[in-house]
Structure 1
Amino acid sequence: MSAILPLLPSSFRTGLALLLAASTLALAGCAGMRGGDPVRLNVVGIEPIDGEGLEMRMAVRLRVQNPNDTSIDYDGISVELDLNNRPFATGVSPARGSIPRFGETVLNVPVSVSAFSVMRQAWGIVGGMSGGSLGGSPGTSAGAAMEPIPYVLRGKLGGSFGSTRFLDRGTLSLPELR
């Protein structure tokens, strides 16, 4: 094809370039048509599943709500969970389906947590309780309330014309140590 282009008249090459540009813009427009409000999600359950070696595996059940007036077709889901501003767990699922307009569905996503992630989190919590770098005050004693742990859950629902991304953030409060 590239050997033929120099032989074509310049007006034809310009028209071809404009056609390619218009096609690219049209495809980008189709991918962006979904728009609307972001999906909402809630973790509705966590169950342990078999892992390998030093990893922990869990099946996370997510209730995904579609607040838009068009359905969302998805083909795969990916999630990432950060705790205390550190990566903690990741997971993917080849689940396929549709979330109806103004509807919801529950998805199961297997996630993996490495032993190193668990150790980093435990070290951070212990450091926070003893006045370490995570916001604990010096002299925190057993029975005192711990600082809330910030989390960020982000992910995407894959689709034919692009992905629908979601984000949830907040804090987790651990019970008092006695």
Structure 2
Amino acid sequence: MRRLIGLTLSLVLLSLSACALFPDRDALHINVVGIEPLQSQDLEVRFAVKLRVQNPNETAIDYNGVALDLEVNGRPLAAGVSDQQGSIPRFSETVLTVPVSVSAFSVLRQTLGLSQTQSLNNLPYVLRGKLAGGLFGTVRFVDRGTLDLPTTVTW
């Protein structure tokens, strides 16, 4: 029994010291800087979401995939993924473009949830996502703001 307690305590201390080996990173600054329409199919609308990613750290951030979930007015609206990969140099920034899909049913849910005085513009959004970077390099992020949809969307 004493060995089990000693082994457990050793594993806990070892795991805590392992965390100290990883450098502290400041959070990335990620903002939506544009939403552009893409060619749509059948009962879905597609957009290209442009994200400005700023790295305020002393080391580069490597990524090998991006995933996004967009919630508008408290309801899920769109999701998208991209297998793009690259690196954001230290104290630098880049713009990533991720295609997202919106089903007609999501748009219908959004429209039914609006009051008669609201439109699809200036609604609050929450964008959740991640930059995949391997076992310990994945960076999750959240951006909040108000949405202005492009007017050239056709069904």
1:117 aligns with 2:106: yes
Given the two structures, how large is their TM-score scaled by the length of structure 2? 0.76
Say whether the 8 Å CA contact 2:122–2:148 is kept in structure 1: yes
Q: Percent identity?
A: 55
Unaligned segments of structure 2, at least 5 residues:
150-155
Cα separation, 1, equivalents of 2:85 and 2:67: 12
Correspondence for 1:81: 70
CA gap of 1:60–1:147, structure 2 versus 1, over 3 A, is closer
Q: Which amino acid aligns with 1:166?
A: F
* Greater Rg by CA: 1
Correspondence for 2:130: 156
Deviation at 1:58, TM superposition (A): 1.2
- Partner SS for 1:51: strand
* Alpha-carbon RMSD: 3.0
Unaligned segments of structure 1, at least 5 residues:
1-10, 130-135, 137-144
**1:1-178 alignment runs, 5 A limit:** 29=19, 33=22, 35-125=24-114, 127-129=115-117, 148-160=122-134, 161-172=136-147
- Which protein, 1 or 2, shows the higher relative CO under an 8 Å CA cutoff with sep ≥ 6? 2
- Measured against aligned partners, the alpha-carbon deviations of 1:35-60 in whole angstroms (never above 9, x if no partner) come to 42211122233222233320111111
Cα separation, 2, equivalents of 1:44 and 1:111: 15
Say whether the 8 Å CA contact 2:111–2:120 is kept in structure 1: no
Say whether the 8 Å CA contact 1:38–1:165 is kept in structure 2: no
Cα separation, 1, equivalents of 2:43 and 2:141: 29
CA gap of 1:58–1:163, structure 2 versus 1, over 3 A, is same
Q: Which amino acid aligns with 1:154?
A: R
